[in-house]
Structures are given as C-alpha cells and as structure tokens.
Copies of this chain bind each other. A is one copy, B any other.
Amino acid sequence: MLATAQASSTGFHLGAISHLRHLPEDRSGILGELARTQAIGRQEVLFHEADDAASVFEIIQGVIRLCRLLPDGRRSITGFAFPSSILGLSFREAYVYTAQAITPCEVRRCGQAAVTKLLDSGPQIRRQLLGIVSDELCSAQDQMLLLGRKTAPGRLVSFLLWLAAKMAPEQTVPTHVDLPMPRGDIADYLGLTTETVSREITKLKQAGLISLPMPQRIVFVRLKTLRQIAE
C-alpha cells in the first residue's frame, strides 16, 4: 500500500543553503511493503563489517550505532541511525561497517534485490534514494571537518546540538537532549576518550552553559553561547 505519498524532492531554492542541506523529506515507508518488520534487542548486531551486503534496513524505532574497528582494537563510530534512517544502501558486495542496537529497536528489512527493483521503478524514487546516499556523504564530510579541525569542547557541543536536532526534529529551539548512548560511544564518535568527554561535560556544567539533572540528560541553559562554541 502506497498510502504514504512520496514527497517531491524537486528543488527548493531558498538561498540559505547550509541549513537546507538535509531537507526534511518524508521518507517514511520508502521501502514499502517489500520490507518485513522485526524487533531487535539492545546490543544486538544487525550486520557486521565485511558481511555480505544482503539486506537494507529502515529504522522504525530506537537508536543504532555504526562502527569500524582498527586491527589493534581502536574503534571509530562512523555514525548513529535514528528512526527513518536507511542502513545498508551500499550498492557494493559487502557492508563497510557494523550496525549494533544501542536501545531496543524496531526495524524493517528487505533484500538488496528489492532495492534494485525499487531503483528501476521510476525516476522519482530513484532521486529519493540517491538523495539519501548524498546526504550521508555530506554528513560524513561534516564529521571529517569536526574530527580534523575542532577542539574537544567544539566537538562535544556540536554533537549535543546535532543530537538534539535528530531526536526532536520538530523543535527549532532545542531545550535539552537525552543521550541514548554511553560516554564511550560519544568518545569513539568524536575521536576522544571517555574521560575527556566526561570532563568537557563537567566544564560546560561548571560554566553554567548546561545543566545535568542526570548523566543521560543534558539541558541547554545558554543556547546561544553553545552555538558559538560549536561554530
């Protein structure tokens, strides 16, 4: 059932490009009835790096971490996936990262063949799928800039504001964010250590920029200053 009408992704031209990089298209149900819904327990692995890329996933509920390992065990988290994210659109033989549930999740899965069929089914949906991959590429480059050229506080604040926007897309002015992932995951995402992440959070609290009712909840107190720190 194609109840969810595909939002047209044809050009918006509003000038203020940087905010519009990731247009809020409605992608819900892009995989349609080709997909089967499935529950995933906390810490469960959807697929491993280098596994045969057999399936594509759409996250319905929960948060998933995407990570890569160096031979000596150093870990890099390349991204997090939230509801409506698409995972595994590789168009290649193997997955390039491991996907693991941080919280209990609900996902829809469908085979690569179904995606190929989807791609052949028309220019509209094609554009949408390609846009998804393009957006991923764009955020990957944002992340490179963060890792290569921002300091620890800049990285952390950028992350907190980004996460708040991801978790509550409807809010233009975020008030707080609840961290679904442990400090270690944040560290591996930001190229820092758990200790540094913790210390920087403490500093923000002591500077009165955030408050911390509990370790998993960050309340933004001086949002404007935070935005400056994130640059």
> Once the chains bind, are B93 and A191 in contact (CB under 8 Å)?
no
B contact residues around A89 at 8 Å (CB): 134
List residues of chain B with CB within 8 A of the CB of A96: 21, 137-138, 141
Of all chain B residues, the one with the shortest Cβ separation from A69 is B145
Chain A residues close to B by CB (< 8 Å): 11-13, 15, 17-18, 20-22, 50, 68, 70-72, 74-76, 78, 89-94, 96-97, 116, 119-120, 123, 126-127, 130-131, 133-138, 140-141, 143-145, 147-150, 188-191, 231
B91–A130 CB distance below 8 A:
yes
A-B contacts besides A137-B140, A143-B144, 8 pairs, CB < 8 Å: A70-B231, A71-B231, A76-B141, A76-B145, A91-B131, A92-B138, A147-B148, A148-B189
Complex: A104 Cα to B139 Cα, angstroms: 30
A-B pairs with beta carbons under 8 Å apart, 11 shown: A11-B93, A15-B134, A78-B141, A96-B138, A119-B130, A137-B140, A140-B140, A144-B147, A148-B188, A148-B191, A149-B188
Q: Which of A18, A68, A137, A148 has the most CB of B within 10 A?
A: A148
Q: Are A93 and B22 in contact (CB under 8 A)?
A: yes
CB-contact partner of A136 in B22, B93, B120, B137, under 8 A: B137
